[in-house]
Structure 1
Amino acid sequence: MPDSLADLAQQLQQFNTDRDWQQFHSPKNLASALVVEAAELLEHFQWMTEAQSRDLPQEKRTAVGAEVADVLLYLIQLADALGIDPIAAAQAKLALNAQKYPVERARGSSRKYDEL
């Protein structure tokens, strides 16, 4: 069982290699597949209230988990295809967001950084 993002990426590479699927995994195709899977994730919440989306029945939670996995797997493949370390990219983005949304101005607000 993979216990890190790097392990999961390696397992995913082997899965794709075994099936000779790399030929289909251009960055464009992976980004497209990622968006499709994200839409399938969103579909589970369509027409729900905020409260319903926070209290999913177990069957729905399992289905949502499968879509979360699909999104994650395509994101890992896209990052790998482009040579992007997703952890480093996320850490850099978090640092940038901390500058754009300082606690003293952003706390409790949903406004965009240029409206704070």
Structure 2
Amino acid sequence: MPKNLASALIVEAGELLEHFQWLTEEQSRNLPADKKQAVAYEMADVLLYFVQMVTALEVDLIETAHAKVGIKGQKYPVDQAR
């Protein structure tokens, strides 16, 4: 099931990206209302598959995110990143 959820998540992320294909940065920041709603629905699809995957794998995502920030902080110290 996690494999299928990961595949579905990528498909939905691709559908999200399609809305921005060929747009300039400015255009992507100023979507018309109907386009913005379509993008929001695609974002919701991505979120829903992502949440299902988190649940299926029993991942504590908040704990994992905190750990990942710590790992990144060690790998890329702030004083050396600037």
TM-score between both structures, scaled by the size of structure 1: 0.64
**Counterpart residue identity of residue 6, structure 2:** A
Identity %: 62
Residue 81 (str. 1) matches residue 56 (str. 2):
yes
Greater C-alpha Rg: 1
Number of matched residues? Answer: 82
Query: Helix, strand or coil for the counterpart of 1:45?
Result: coil
Q: CA deviation at 1:94?
A: 2.1
Cα drift, residue 95 of structure 1: 2.2
Alignment of 1:1-116 (within 5 A): 26-107=1-82
- In 2: Cα distance, 1:55 partner to 1:99 partner: 37
Structure 2: 5+ residue runs without aligned partners?
none
Higher relative contact order (CA 8 A, sep 6+): 2
Q: CA deviation at 1:44?
A: 0.6
Amino acid at match of 1:83: E
Bigger helix share: 2
Cα deviations by residue, 1:55-82 (Å, 9 ceiling, x for unpaired): 2122111111111111111111111111
> Normalising by structure 2, what TM-score?
0.86
How much does 1:48 deviate? 0.6
Contact 1:76–1:86 (CA<8 Å) still a contact in 2? no
User: SS state of the match for residue 21, structure 2?
Assistant: coil
